[in-house]
Structure 1
Amino acid sequence: MTKDVFPVTYSTLECKALVTRVLPEYEIAEICTCQFWHRGLSDIYLVETQTSRYILRVSHHHWRSRSEIDFELELLDYLHQCHLPVAYPLRTTTGKLAVEINAPEGKRYAALFPYAPGNVALGDLNQNQSFLLGETLAKLHFSTRNWRSRHQREPLSLAYLLDDAEVAIAPFLRHRNEELTYIQQLISEIKRQLTNFPTQAPYWGICWGDPHSGNAHFTSDGKITLFDFDQCGYGWRAFDIGKFLQVSIRTGMPKNVREAFLTGYQSVESLSKPEINSLQAFTQTAHIWMWGISLNNAIRYDWCRLDESYFTQRLQQLKRLNSHDWQLF
């Protein structure tokens, strides 16, 4: 980088430039609007033509490598070929699933998806929607049992899920020694419970990584479309269920709706007794993992969130998940 250009950690790509320099790579109708829709682990743009809507997702340079993105996009393309209801990436006119962008901070990658039909469940899932979500997740796990990628992506191992999160969390709790010790001891206990968990099919395979009510659209006639596979990878299927439970407990989803998700899942794939018994540990793991991800992103562009209440709230949630009555919340 030349000395007269100031270093950049994160840039916001101009909508007009995306319309003229990225979207022409795709065979779609004339674009009417392109709006910067949401900033999350990627930047999301809503693209509209006269007849269709699309989501343009642009990766963050610091978050995902080209190999990791290719892994996810090829997985979604495979799921679409298997006729599973996912928001799948469109190919460019040259057959690519992603478009490389030379952003000021480094390489970023854009992928275009048809807009998932329907909407996020109003007020959260009902029992029928929860059953359908669990059923669809089980079909995803079953359909990908023999899928292999030539691209590298970090597996959802205990080291990745827990150790990296602990490294992110610990510096912020040095002055709260008792609570830091609590987290460290809980991580050790989770590892003790899960270290010898099977790492072969059907227990281990492709995971969505982020199954919850906010990552699925439902139509009025009861159809579902899954999206946001940014956190996918090889992992334990029980972790995917734990991730659903972690989000749904945090948002206050009723217990009978959560149970409908498990019933839907097991209408396709039966869980073993050890998997059922491990769900509390995997739910705690999901909470700790997402805490670490949240911290690493806040450090980059939302430091004001990291006050004492931020940490107190997450500690309280973790302690509830570690209680005997964790499923009653």
Structure 2
Amino acid sequence: MKVIRALLSSDAVTAHIRQAYSLAEPIQAQLLATGDNDSYLIESAGWRGVCRVYSLRLQPGFSHDERRCELAWLLHLAERGVRVSTPVPRRDGALLGRLDAPEGMRDLALFTWAEGESAAFSNLEGMERFGQRLAELHLASMRFQTRLPRMAIDRKRLVDTPLERITGLLQELRLEPELARLQALAEPIRRRLDSFPSDEASHGFIHGDCNGENHHLTPDGQVVFFDMDLSGPGWFAYDPAVLLWTMRRAGVPAPDIVESGARCIAGYQRVRPLASWELEALDDLVLARHFWVMGEHIVDIPSLGALRVGPSYWRLAITRILEWQQTPLVPLIRERLSREGAP
């Protein structure tokens, strides 16, 4: 009997942690969340961490070596003063291990706990600090070098591959009008992504999932980044664009998105000024992010079901993309920055 995805018990994870890591007893695991991967809180004699059990997806995803690359990058950032949740070495010195699960061998890593708490988008001071620390992360990433592979966050990953998945599913569902509309909406986005430079000044290892839930603010005003399993080489502008996409998709009113987004960009530019094309690219990258998410939802059909990507899903997607194209955020953010005298 084939298993697509198993949820490991807390006892099974506890047993693996006890065997593989040099932690003090008592050791206890508790499931925190399931998503692209499964995360468990690990408590050990007053110490806390998070164990991530990476999923085995049916579509091509990150390889074992690509995940090793992610962990090496996190250590690189920490060594340069960026506050990140870092991998904990195993007894054998490795950062990434494997666990025998019903569906096959799953990669596993243990991370330090990210201190602090999530901040609301309306926390403007928090948005500004986040922008500053994100820029510092990008500057530190410029010096990251490795021979390990890592999937790029580029046009292929954001738009081309998702569009191939969308085409296959919508043809199967016989939603030809919706497919034709999405293909037409994707084409100008693809052309604009092709025009973006990929030089060292604007391109490097990025977080890849700055959705507002993957960083914490500490009481002393610091920002701690975590859940960076979607990271990879990409345009630096993509990270703040994901924050804007998250607010748009959540239905945050446009004036509030502009206010929060402008404070984030203002903080970012105090550390790393954005080139003019990077600021202009934010709206296009918001749309590219939405295509990527749609593609990921198709990948998840075998484990999460097909109901959530039925006909109404695609009609709403078209409505959203059209609305976002017709109401770009960048002119409003630029005006807000100019009014405040921000860089």
With structure 2 as the length reference, what TM-score do the two structures score? 0.88
- Checking the alignment, whether the CA contact within 8 Å between 2:245 and 2:286 is kept in structure 1 is yes
Superposed displacement of residue 170, structure 1: 2.3
Residue in structure 2 matched with residue 265 of structure 1 by the alignment? 268
Residue in structure 1 matched with residue 305 of structure 2 by the alignment? 302
Alignment of 1:198-277 (within 5 A): 198-251=197-250, 252=252, 254=256, 255-277=258-280
How high is the sequence identity, in percent, across the aligned residues? 28
Superposed displacement of residue 221, structure 1: 2.9
Matched position secondary structure for 1:27: coil
Residue in structure 2 matched with residue 3 of structure 1 by the alignment? none
Matched position secondary structure for 1:48: strand
Residue in structure 2 matched with residue 118 of structure 1 by the alignment? 116
2:44 counterpart of 1:49: yes
Q: How far apart are the structure 1 equivalents of 2:328 and 2:204? A: 30
Residue in structure 2 matched with residue 104 of structure 1 by the alignment? 102
Superposed displacement of residue 78, structure 1: 1.1
Matched position secondary structure for 2:290: helix
Matched position secondary structure for 1:210: coil
Q: How far apart are the structure 2 equivalents of 1:223 and 1:272? A: 26
Residue in structure 2 matched with residue 170 of structure 1 by the alignment? 167
Alignment of 1:24-39 (within 5 A): 24-39=19-34
Matched position secondary structure for 1:213: coil
Residue in structure 1 matched with residue 196 of structure 2 by the alignment? 197
Superposed displacement of residue 125, structure 1: 4.5
Q: How far apart are the structure 2 equivalents of 1:42 and 1:165? A: 20
Q: How far apart are the structure 2 equivalents of 1:132 and 1:19? A: 36
Q: How far apart are the structure 2 equivalents of 1:305 and 1:315? A: 15
Q: Which moved more, 1:280-289 or 1:165-174?
A: 165-174
**Length, aligned pairs only:** 323
- Checking the alignment, whether the CA contact within 8 Å between 1:190 and 1:281 is kept in structure 2 is yes
Superposed displacement of residue 150, structure 1: 1.7
With structure 1 as the length reference, what TM-score do the two structures score? 0.92
Structure 2: 5+ residue runs without aligned partners? Answer: 334-343
Counterparts in 2 of 1:128 and 1:28: CA distance versus 1, 3 Å:
same
Residue in structure 1 matched with residue 341 of structure 2 by the alignment? none
Q: Which moved more, 1:136-145 or 1:235-244?
A: 235-244
Q: How far apart are the structure 2 equivalents of 1:32 and 1:169? A: 44
- Checking the alignment, whether the CA contact within 8 Å between 2:77 and 2:84 is kept in structure 1 is yes
- Checking the alignment, whether the CA contact within 8 Å between 1:205 and 1:236 is kept in structure 2 is yes
Superposed displacement of residue 326, structure 1: 4.6
Counterparts in 2 of 1:265 and 1:230: CA distance versus 1, 3 Å:
same
Residue in structure 2 matched with residue 90 of structure 1 by the alignment? 88
Residue in structure 2 matched with residue 129 of structure 1 by the alignment? 126
Q: How far apart are the structure 2 equivalents of 1:310 and 1:36? A: 30
Residues 116-175 of structure 1: CA deviation (Å, up to 9, x unaligned): 111212x44511111111111111111111212221111112012111111222234344
Q: Which moved more, 1:204-213 or 1:27-36?
A: 27-36
Q: How far apart are the structure 2 equivalents of 1:286 and 1:11? A: 28
Q: How far apart are the structure 1 equivalents of 2:270 and 2:201? A: 15
Counterparts in 2 of 1:153 and 1:192: CA distance versus 1, 3 Å:
same
Q: How far apart are the structure 2 equivalents of 1:302 and 1:73? A: 31
Counterparts in 2 of 1:325 and 1:198: CA distance versus 1, 3 Å:
closer
Q: How far apart are the structure 2 equivalents of 1:157 and 1:109? A: 25
Counterparts in 2 of 1:298 and 1:125: CA distance versus 1, 3 Å:
farther
Superposed displacement of residue 14, structure 1: 2.4
Q: How far apart are the structure 2 equivalents of 1:23 and 1:136? A: 35
Superposed displacement of residue 97, structure 1: 0.6
